[in-house]
Amino acid sequence: MDTIALQTWFNILWPKMLVLVALILLDMLGGALVAWKRGIFKWEKLPEGLSVASGYIFSWLAIEIVAFLPTLFALNISSLSEFIAANGPWAVYLGAVLKYLAGLGTSVKVLTDKS
């Protein structure tokens, strides 16, 4: 097992994880503020939001791990598998980031609405 490759991979993952977690927390805060503004805020809903968010995080991490396995164990893979391993994690990550950016944008729109 190549520990330098593992450390490099982790150093690449860490900033992406921080961005995703920050977006999730901002989206949850925005959603809570929108619910509070509308008078329907309930503390019981926060764990539901965290469980949904953890699904996105774990899905992204799982595909990152699967995509990293050939590098970690120095396996030779086909060009299609190489393409999927290189782009699959980015697609899942981008989907999660866009989902939380859209939620944050919706919250900002509702909170700045004067009506």
Number of structural domains found in the chain? 1
Backbone angles phi, psi at 82, to 5 degrees: -65, -40
For residue 114, being part of any structural domain is answered with: no
Q: What pTM was estimated for this model as a whole? A: 0.84
pLDDT of residue 115: 66
In whole angstroms, give the CA distance from residue 28 to residue 47.
10
* Amino acid code (one letter) for 36: W
pLDDT for 63-111, tens place per residue?
998 888 887 777 777 777 788 888 889 999 999 999 999 999 999 999 9
Contact 107, 33 (CB under 8 A): yes
User: Has residue 2 got a pLDDT over 80?
Assistant: no
pLDDT of residue 85: 80
For residue 115, being part of any structural domain is answered with: no
For residue 40, being part of any structural domain is answered with: yes
Residue 55 domain boundaries: 3-109
